[in-house]
Amino acid sequence: MTLENVFTVGKPASTEHPTFMGNYIGLVSEPDILEALELQAVRFREFAESIPAHQLHVVHAPYSWTIAEVLGHCTDTERVFSYRALRFAAGDKTPLPGFDENLYAAAFNYEACDLVDLLDEWGHLRRANTLFFSRLNPSQWLHIGTANDSACSVRALAYAMVGHLRHHASILQKRLGIVNRAII
């Protein structure tokens, strides 16, 4: 299925997601979330490939994670959000737990990873997620499930993926003194 054959899902209402997620969703202005997911994959990789290798495992005060851990966190979050979207799109009403991003960042030894591996893992996951979202029917985008004791729609999760990555890319740019050339 090509992205051109998919309808525009529209931005989620504030009642479709937890409050914190609204911060991420608010960073997304593109009218077509599928196109935003796909384009962001290209732009983020281009940006991240410019990160100097000697900076990958450095903590820049006042932050507590290395750049590798931030990239790993972006992958972890994409994975969690996509699992939630899968369950909710299928109509699964089983409440899902939250997750502790600090526990995940500490658990997965991102210090052993190089930039290419981190970007490949995230890129493959994003491609799989874009393909998944592209085959949903219109009603599935509106399905709502519960995660971390909050209601959340499938479309809110897709928007949150884009916004979450955009949020962290902006922080990384500030850390590295890189001027934002394009919306990531």
In tens, the pLDDT along 136-173 reads 999 999 999 999 999 999 999 999 999 999 999 999 99
Inter-CA distances, 63 with 2, 20, 91, 123, Å? 40, 20, 39, 25
* CA distance from start to end of the chain: 25
Which of left, alpha, beta for 113 (phi over 0: left; psi -120 to 50: alpha)? beta
In tens, the pLDDT along 84-142 reads 999 999 999 999 999 999 999 999 999 999 999 999 999 999 999 999 999 999 999 99
Structure tokens at 63: 């932050």
Q: With 0.85 as the threshold, say if the pTM is over it.
A: yes
SS3 146: strand
Cβ neighbour number for residue 37 with a 10 Å cutoff: 24
